[in-house]
Amino acid sequence: MKVDWGSLFWIFLIFSSLQPLLNRRAQEFRRLMAIRELEQKRGSRVILLIHRQESISFLGIPVSRYISIEDSEQVLRAIRLTPPNTPIDLILHTPGGLVLATEQIARALIRHPAKVTVFVPHYAMSGG
């Protein structure tokens, strides 16, 4: 049996390029399952607001995320879709962000009639 090294190289190259995507999908699936498990255990709606310093950088400066209007729109949508009698568990890990966005989230959580619990696993600075 003769081995075609060119074909093996291309198969290796394709597999190597797909590996990070497959790993990311598997991590997202595990995260989603952990969230669903926590929701079932506590009988609540879990909302995540997590920002972390990314491993990439721009001109040597690490890129970090913060609470933006887009984040507040997503969190507000999740709060609105939560039934009034369902408690909310907010998991917060952020360096802060825009005042308008954080105030919108805070007001929506205050208006939610059921219990609201905020978990801060590492830090919530500034607007967080």
Token representation of residue 99? 């005042």
Residue for token pair 């198969």: 11
Query: Within this chain, do residues 54 and 113 fall inside the same structural domain, yes or no?
Result: yes
**Residue 51's pLDDT band (cuts 50, 70, 90):** confident
In a domain, 71, yes or no: yes
Query: Within this chain, do residues 48 and 87 fall inside the same structural domain, yes or no?
Result: yes
CB-CB contact of 47 with 35 (8 Å): no
**Residue ranges making up the domain that contains 25:** 1-33
What's the full length of the chain, in residues? Answer: 128
Query: pLDDT of 63-114, one tens digit each?
Result: 556 677 887 888 899 999 999 999 999 998 887 777 888 888 889 999 999 9
In a domain, 38, yes or no: no
Query: Within this chain, do residues 58 and 115 fall inside the same structural domain, yes or no?
Result: yes
Whether the model pTM is above 0.75: no
Query: Within this chain, do residues 14 and 53 fall inside the same structural domain, yes or no?
Result: no
Q: How far apart are CA 8 and CA 55, in angstroms?
A: 31
Percent helix, percent strand, percent coil in the chain, to nearest 5:
50, 25, 25
CB-CB contact of 105 with 76 (8 Å): yes
In a domain, 64, yes or no: yes
Q: What pLDDT does residue 62 have? A: 53
Query: Within this chain, do residues 54 and 26 fall inside the same structural domain, yes or no?
Result: no
Query: Within this chain, do residues 95 and 62 fall inside the same structural domain, yes or no?
Result: yes
Query: Within this chain, do residues 74 and 109 fall inside the same structural domain, yes or no?
Result: yes
Query: Within this chain, do residues 84 and 113 fall inside the same structural domain, yes or no?
Result: yes
Number of domains in the chain: 2
| Eight-class DSSP state of 107 | H
Beta bridge partners of 67: 97
Of 24, 112, 108, 104, residue with least CA distance to 67: 104
